[in-house]
Structure 1
Amino acid sequence: MWNRPRFDLKVRLTLRVAAISAACFAAISAYFLVTADREAHARIDGIAAIVAKSLELQQGKVQWVANPRSDFPNLDPVSAYVMTPGLCLAFRGANGEILQRFCSGAPTPANPPPQVFAAFYRSLFDPGREAARPVIVRGAKLGETVVSVDPAVQTAEAWHEAGRLMIALAIALPLLCALVYAALARALRPTRMIRTGLERIAANDLTARLPPFDLAELSAIRDVFNHLAESLDTALAERSELTRKLIALQDEERRHLARELHDEFGQSLAAIRALAASARQTAVQDCPSLLSECDGIARTATGMMEMLRGTLFRLRPPDVEELGLVASLEGLVAGWNGRSRGETRFAIRFDGAFETLPAAISASLYRIVQEALTNAAKHAGATKVSLELTMRADEIALAIDDDGRSSDPAAKSGMGLLGMRERVAALRGKLSFEAGPHGGTALRVTIPVAADRPVLERAA
């Protein structure tokens, strides 16, 4: 199954903030560029108006003094006041011919704009566009003044303005990302506690609780989490109690059935054996041909008694409270080794002191081992079964490995495995049944001996 790549939430949010900040800086830069372009055009329009007004005054003065020698147009007086680097002043006559033109030189910029920026700026703003104003005297149009700025100078000025913003962006954006990441890391720190709590819930530790959080959203999650944990803990406790009662009732019914079989069926088989022995003695004297039938009846009754004895042993095992768990399991394994006649070899090993275990845990462990051995010998066809029971500080671990058929459905399902699961669930333990590393099957059971768990502590 294809899984989508996962990204850290802090990194993702930081990248989004950085993208939004960069877009904001780009919008601000575009605003400054548009404003600068408008101001530049407004400036040259103003210069064009001033030059046109000056030329109109010049022509009016010429007509007023009736000077036959006219030096109109004369841009020298006005150019001294309005000329800036890269600016061009010109007067275009009514016939479209340029009669006079002044242009100031532009110094070579220390940091020329990149070619990419220059091409981009020229494609958007058309630097060097002319501003023209008509020169009208007494209702007659004598021509027009033309003002323009060198495109390279205007592009360099725009780059200078944009460059300052880019420097500010280059400094502010990493700093902003670092601050946002730190703030998110601090704000999302409680999520690690939430994850730890969920992991403990997944591990069947329903005593996990979350402390109060500062953020309202996380506090709402905390309330739901704690309520869910309490509900699950209560439901599991009720289920465990019900399972315990059902198992106790089942064991009581087994003991009752064992007594009935022993008292009724066992006595009947004993009587049949006695009658067969008496009939054999009579047949020896009166009818020797019946000896084989009498012996057959005796053998059948003996075999049925052996089967009954095994059934009674499974229905009503030895008292674990009196013999102890270790002795009971050793007797169980020895019985299986005796009944298998070498077809299946059973071995058991203990690690720890099991004398102080509660009676309920000892009885459940005995029944779990009994069902597991039955599954391995009868359903999986195993030839070698090894058991290991380990007592640790806070739990009991049971490991049963065999070399049988791990894919046999009977070995993985049925009332035997269901009974084991019910007993493990009643003790709030865990059970896993899977294929062994070297073939066969592996049964793992862990049962806690101390159910109390500390509540999650609040991180500093």
Structure 2
Amino acid sequence: MRLVLQLVARLLVIVILCLGGATVWATIDAYHSVDRATAASAERVSQALEALYWRELLLRGNRTREHLLPVPEWRTTQTMSLISPGVCVQFEPKGEFENPLCGQSKGIGASPPHWFAAAVETFLGDHAAVARPISARSTTAGTVTAVADPDAAISLAWQHILDNVHVALLMAVAIALLASLAIAHALAPAQLIVTALQRMANGHYRTSLPRFRSMELAMIGQAVGELGDRLAQATEERAVLTRRLLEIRSDERRALARELHDEFGQNLTAILAFANTIEAASAQEQDRGDVAQDARMISKATLHIMACLRGTLNRLRHPPAEELGLEASLINLVDSWRSQNATQPMIQLDLKGDFADVRGAVAATAYRVAQECLTNSLRHSAAREIVLRIERRTGLENALLVRVEDDGGGDAAKVAQSAGFGLTGIRERVTALGGSLSIAHARRGLSVAATIPLAA
């Protein structure tokens, strides 16, 4: 999952938790607001009835205070206007058949769902009644008791929650959107870092990154740049060491070729001469036929060893690509294999591009890759057809592509992991020139492809 989506998801979880907390807070505040409205209603009605009580007491001076109770005409429209919606007020002592005076409760809010009403009653309980004396100086003046209507109180709380939650929900959505845009903008440079790492994985180590505003991303970018520089330096040093190793190996191969030619060649020539002499001498004598036969077998074995020695010397010496050029040397290579394997398999050579200026280490390496791959296909597979493709790619790539495909089957993974000297040697040669070697499945066999930069 992308980091931006993870952060946005976590932000949404936080917003939902905050919205839930705001809803709980709004519910409790609405519940307490009903209690405050109840207390305020009781206070306002008691103050109004106190004024009415003392006025009646002054106007009816010939009456006792007991005859003033209950206070006359207290259930008026003016008194009702002092009562908050959803609150009922009762005067004590009350008269006969006297009901509480309640504030307007119709239209105070939408009907709450049953689960909300049950939750409020379960966790917050009922509203307590509030009693206020009409007069603090006269305890016989009576008492005003205010109590909240449970249904109206829950409706008020629900409406209060709806009003607050709508605003909170809009703010939460706005915050989530703005924060998501801010997070996406802040993490946008991460894609540049990932692209740089991918280029480094493909061998382009020195990849420049822009300077990021975020300190953390700037530190990561700097670390990636330093890592690329170190990898590039290590790769260059390894290429230099590998080229030096190949030079030493070439010198050893030439020295070994000289030793084989000087020592084994001369000795084999001498053995062949002795065998011919023995054969010729034995042929003149009638009873020495078996000796002549042995001499002929020695001559045949010597000739075979000399032919193998010539092939070995050809492989040990410098490849013809350094002398004849890449195109001519590849044609000679394919023709030599065709002459040795006249029936099977069929070898095709496909040259694409101009190879006239391809010389030096690039030409030698391309020739060695083609030679080794053809040798492996002919000796270690049951291929019926082998295709050797050499392509010169111009433009930004500016590389030489050598590809050998056969239809002899085989497991590409096992071949790639093999520790044979042939594949190891050409892989080292290609890597030393900054190229790459890959082994993959072909249509009915294996495909070995080497990419060699021409600027090497």
TM-score for both structures, normalised by structure 2: 0.85
How far residue 110 of structure 1 moved from its aligned partner, in angstroms, is: 6.8
Aligned residues of 1:209 and 1:229 also touching (Cα < 8 A): no
Distance 1:20 1:383 in 2: 67
Alpha-carbon displacement from aligned partner over 1:131-174 (angstroms, at most 9, x marks no partner)? 23567988978975421232333333333332232322343333
Q: Which residue of 1 aligns with 2:237?
A: 238
Q: Which residue of 2 aligns with 1:457?
A: none
Aligned residues of 1:92 and 1:98 also touching (Cα < 8 A): no
Aligned residues of 1:90 and 1:147 also touching (Cα < 8 A): yes
Q: Which residue of 1 aligns with 2:5?
A: 11
Q: Which residue of 2 aligns with 1:454?
A: none
Q: Which residue of 2 aligns with 1:380?
A: 381
How far residue 417 of structure 1 moved from its aligned partner, in angstroms, is: 1.4
RMSD (CA atoms): 3.3
Q: Which residue of 2 aligns with 1:27?
A: 21
Alpha-carbon displacement from aligned partner over 1:34-84 (angstroms, at most 9, x marks no partner)? 333323212322433555577778499499754374442554378355223
Aligned residues of 1:73 and 1:100 also touching (Cα < 8 A): no
Q: Which residue of 2 aligns with 1:301?
A: 302
1:81-96 mapped onto 2 (5 Å cutoff): 82-92=82-92
Q: Secondary structure at the match of 2:226?
A: helix
Aligned residues of 2:38 and 2:84 also touching (Cα < 8 A): no
Distance 1:83 1:318 in 2: 111
Change beyond 3 A, Cα 1:141–1:381: farther
The code of the aligned residue for 2:15 comes to S
What is the aligned counterpart of 1:400 among 382, 404, 408? 404
Q: Secondary structure at the match of 1:445?
A: strand
The code of the aligned residue for 1:424 comes to V
Q: Establish whether residue 253 from structure 1 lines up as the match of residue 259 from structure 2.
A: no
Q: Secondary structure at the match of 2:219?
A: helix
The code of the aligned residue for 1:359 comes to G
Q: Which residue of 2 aligns with 1:41?
A: 35
Q: Secondary structure at the match of 1:158?
A: helix
Distance 1:264 1:48 in 2: 128
Q: Structure 1 residues 63-72 or 221-230, which shifts more? A: 63-72
Aligned residues of 1:241 and 1:426 also touching (Cα < 8 A): yes
Percent same amino acid among aligned pairs?
A: 31
Q: Which residue of 2 aligns with 1:176?
A: 175
How far residue 266 of structure 1 moved from its aligned partner, in angstroms, is: 1.2
Distance 2:160 2:44 in 1: 27
Distance 2:130 2:226 in 1: 76
Q: Structure 1 residues 414-423 or 172-181, which shifts more? A: 172-181
TM-score for both structures, normalised by structure 1: 0.85
Change beyond 3 A, Cα 1:16–1:121: same
Q: Which residue of 2 aligns with 1:187?
A: 186
**Long gaps (5+) in structure 2:** none
Aligned residues of 2:243 and 2:432 also touching (Cα < 8 A): yes
1:245-324 mapped onto 2 (5 Å cutoff): 245-287=244-286, 288-289=288-289, 290-324=291-325
Distance 2:455 2:191 in 1: 26
Aligned residues of 1:382 and 1:402 also touching (Cα < 8 A): yes
Q: Which residue of 2 aligns with 1:72?
A: 70
Change beyond 3 A, Cα 1:138–1:179: closer
Aligned residues of 2:46 and 2:134 also touching (Cα < 8 A): yes
The code of the aligned residue for 1:312 comes to L
Alpha-carbon displacement from aligned partner over 1:258-278 (angstroms, at most 9, x marks no partner)? 121112211221222222222
How far residue 315 of structure 1 moved from its aligned partner, in angstroms, is: 1.4
Q: Which residue of 2 aligns with 1:416?
A: 422
Distance 2:132 2:71 in 1: 14
Q: Secondary structure at the match of 1:355?
A: coil
Q: Establish whether residue 108 from structure 1 lines up as the match of residue 113 from structure 2.
A: no
Aligned residues of 2:87 and 2:149 also touching (Cα < 8 A): yes
How far residue 216 of structure 1 moved from its aligned partner, in angstroms, is: 0.9
Change beyond 3 A, Cα 1:80–1:274: closer
Distance 1:349 1:378 in 2: 21
The code of the aligned residue for 2:447 comes to A
The code of the aligned residue for 1:368 comes to V
Distance 1:110 1:158 in 2: 9
